[in-house]
Amino acid sequence: MSDKKEKLTRREMREAAFLLLYQVELNGGSKADLGTITLDCVETFGLVLNSASVRLAEGVLDNKAVLDEIIGRYSSVRKVERIPKINLTIMRMGLYEMDFMPEIPDKVAMNEAIELSKDYAYPPDSKLISGLLGSRYKDKYKTKNGTNPCRGESGVPQDGEDE
């Protein structure tokens, strides 16, 4: 991180986490590389980040398998491995905030992910990201209201459960 404590807005913090996650994804997707990539991004590109940026990136990487399972469930267009890395990174972050950070309202997480996609993804991909997160939100809402009891905590059908 930088020499001084950085005061970032939530949006700046998310963007820094996104840039870290995208660099990790480009370099093989391993959490073990996060520290090195963080230092490289700060030194080479002057990336401004704070501890919240790093914690968000760590959380996404720690839950990557679950997040990819959710993305695979809701992506009717492409398999997870065929989704562009930028889109995948944005979707993972949005889903992580929606599913693992209860202090962040789902609609805020969705909006922030959509804003990132407007800045970094192709316009048609923003619609794909918005649709996927919107579908997840609707399904989560149904689950919370007891109308969709076939899902586990992650919203993904558990072993032996039907869709």
Tell me the pLDDT tens digit for each residue of 114-130: 999 999 999 999 999 99
Extents of the domains making up the chain: 10-144
Give pLDDT tens digits for 16-67: 999 999 999 998 878 888 999 999 999 988 999 999 999 999 999 999 999 9
Enter the pTM of the model: 0.82
Planar angle of CA 58, 41, 98, nearest 5 degrees? 30
What DSSP string describes 144-163? Answer: HTTS-TTB-TTSSBPTT---
Tokens linked to 83: 């989704």
d(CA 86, CA 60): 14
Give 144's pLDDT tier (boundaries 50, 70, 90): low
Instruction: Give the Cα separation of 12 and 9 in Å (integer).
Output: 5
CB 98 within 8 A of CB 105: no
34 touches 58 (CB < 8 A): yes
DSSP assignment of 75-90 equals: -SSS-GGGS-HHHHHH
Q: Measuring CA to CA, which residue among 56, 31, 155, 41 is closest to residue 113?
A: 56
Which fold does the domain 10-144 belong to in CATH? N-utilizing Substance Protein B Homolog; Chain A (1.10.940)
92/23 Cα distance (integer angstroms): 14
DSSP 151: B
Residue type at position 16:
A
Q: What is the pLDDT, as a whole number, of residue 20?
A: 95
Phi, psi of 151 (to 5 degrees): -115, 150
